[in-house]
Amino acid sequence: MQYTLGVDIGTFETKAVLVDQNGSIIAQTQKGHKMLVPHPGWAEHRPNEDWWGDFCEVSQSVISKSKIDPTKILAVACSAIGPCMLPVDINGDPLMNGVLYGVDTRAHQEINDLNTEIGEDRIMEMGGNALTSQSVGPKILWLKRNRPEIFENTHKILTSTSFLMHRLTGQYVIDHYTAANFTPLYDIHRQTWSDVLTQDIIPLDALPDLRWSTDIVGHVTARAARETGLPEGIPVTTGTIDAAAEAVSVGVADAGDTMCMYGSTIFMISLTENRVKDPKLWYAPWLFKGQHASMAGLATSGTLTHWFREHFAKDLDLETSFGALSQEAALSAPGANGLVFLPYFSGERTPIHDPDAKGVIFGLRLDHTRGDVYRALIEGIAFGTRHVVDTFVESGTKTNRLFAVGGGTKNELWLQTTSDITGVDQTVRQKTVGASYGDAFLAALAIGAVQPADIGVWNPTERIVEAESDTALERNYKIFKSLYLTTKELMKQI
């Protein structure tokens, strides 16, 4: 039997999975890490410890657990949170912590300045995306302005997967799907780096080489083999952002297929026949030539359930607390007994793109219980998801099939509430491991061991979550949208 390895670096944990040629999981493991918030609106990881250190640890662990001969591993692919901004020196060593994706909002001034300098329409036309907290270009400009000593010593700007690729193979590469988030430095029409819009951010030779996700970009070096336990010389693919690998893991393959990833944030990917132009959404070439994707993401989702448990459920056993909270929430009818929750605890990404947005619990009365508030929290996340689905429809993106994936699929209340509020049935696959499983499939695809359609054999459908309509939810969704519009100017004052 032969195997492929998939590794994913998430916001709060790293996962690895070893898969055989039939898609069976031979071994899997995970390791937690923290998201650092050194200042309000900032979000960081430690590259050596949280990215490469985790990769080495989970790689060694999964090989040890499997008890297989490591030489039977044919290829490795990895994914990670993205898009990130990490400056490295001539040796590829980090010069600071990695600045995370859209949850880090430090570059809001740079976004405004670039929009003024270049023009929002020109940015949208060439890059396919409006400048938001998800964009890497403004964060590089922030680095140049605010950390000039680091910028002066920067050899390359990497994202999380680029850093891992360099540690594994010595190559500086990035996939097109991730690169499209480097607005305004990526030309979606020519699918190349470009400084046509501005030369004031960084020289283009400081950016990684562009490749497709299943391209074999190098082979495991002797040093990487010693540190990871992988065989020296096995092929390594370009990799991609974790959400894209999650989409692959559940079978998102054709136009109209949409993924909803339930994790620390909600992230959605919908494949389209042609490029969709909508500044409220994100665009990128898909993982393979000729395909397109519209994306959306909420800033805080599963993170809110952890926040709630930490501050308002200290009396519950840690191992069973989420189940207990869901049971309490189940005693509250849909509509959360008249409560409406805005989940904008870290600002918000799509579709409102407002770094100043704040969380709100609206409608509190003396008779409300913890279960009511927790249900309102879950519904608030689902309202944010509905807002994205509505935006997809308005932009002309159709959803033929909606696939649910991620750790949040274990939360039945969250799943059912999302279907009820969006009005869309969700497909749940048998294996919900997520991005690391998608990575293992992409590794197999890269070496020709499988075909794209084989993911349905690797990961069959387990069940369908059917949507049920509810008038209280519809009423609260209207309040949800109005509540933000009514309070957004006040939010800027806090």
Inform me whether the pLDDT recorded for 82 exceeds 90: no
pLDDT at 239: 96
Q: Any residues with CB less than 8 A from the CB of 71 and at least 6 apart, and which? A: 231
Q: Any residues with CB less than 8 A from the CB of 247 and at least 6 apart, and which? A: 257, 259, 261, 269, 403, 405, 438
**What single letter denotes the amino acid at residue 343?**
P
pLDDT at 1: 83
d(CA 215, CA 384): 35
d(CA 286, CA 271): 8
d(CA 169, CA 224): 8
Q: Where in the chain is the domain with CATH 3.30.420.40?
A: 3-238, 251-431+454-494
Inform me whether the pLDDT recorded for 383 exceeds 90: yes
Q: Any residues with CB less than 8 A from the CB of 172 and at least 6 apart, and which? A: 92, 156, 158, 162, 165, 166, 208, 209
pLDDT at 352: 95
pLDDT at 400: 86
DSSP string, 389-455: HHHHHHTT---SEEEEESGGGG-HHHHHHHHHHHT--EEEES----HHHHHHHHHHHHTTSS-GGGH
The pLDDT tens digits of the residues spanning 37-80 come to 999 999 999 999 999 999 999 999 999 999 999 999 999 999 99
pLDDT at 264: 84
Helices 370-394, 302-312: inter-axial angle, 10-degree rounding: 170
Inform me whether the pLDDT recorded for 433 exceeds 90: no
The pLDDT tens digits of the residues spanning 286-302 come to 999 889 999 999 999 99
pTM of the model: 0.85
Q: CATH number of 3-238: 3.30.470.20, 2.30.110.10, 3.40.50.720, 3.30.420.40? A: 3.30.420.40
Provide the token pair at 270: 């919908």
Q: Any residues with CB less than 8 A from the CB of 378 and at least 6 apart, and which? A: 305, 329, 411, 413, 414, 417
258 three-class SS: strand
Spatial CA neighbour of 6 closest among 222, 248, 343? 248
Torsion of CA 197, 202, 203, 207, to 10 degrees: -100
Q: Which superfamily is assigned to 251-431+454-494 in CATH?
A: ATPase, nucleotide binding domain (3.30.420.40)
pLDDT at 407: 82
The pLDDT tens digits of the residues spanning 100-138 come to 998 899 999 999 999 999 999 999 999 999 898 989 999
d(CA 75, CA 445): 10
- Are 79 and 244 a contacting pair, CB within 8 Å? yes
Inform me whether the pLDDT recorded for 460 exceeds 90: yes
d(CA 57, CA 38): 26
How many other CB atoms are found less than 10 A from the CB of residue 240?
31
275 three-class SS: coil
b/e sequence 149-159, b meaning 16+ C-beta within 10 Å: eebeebbbbbb
Question: Binning pLDDT at 50, 70 and 90, where does residue 398 land?
Answer: confident
- Are 15 and 436 a contacting pair, CB within 8 Å? yes
**What single letter denotes the amino acid at residue 277?**
K
The mean pLDDT value of the chain amounts to: 96
pLDDT at 140: 98
Structure-model confidence comparison of residues 359 and 255, the more confident one: 359
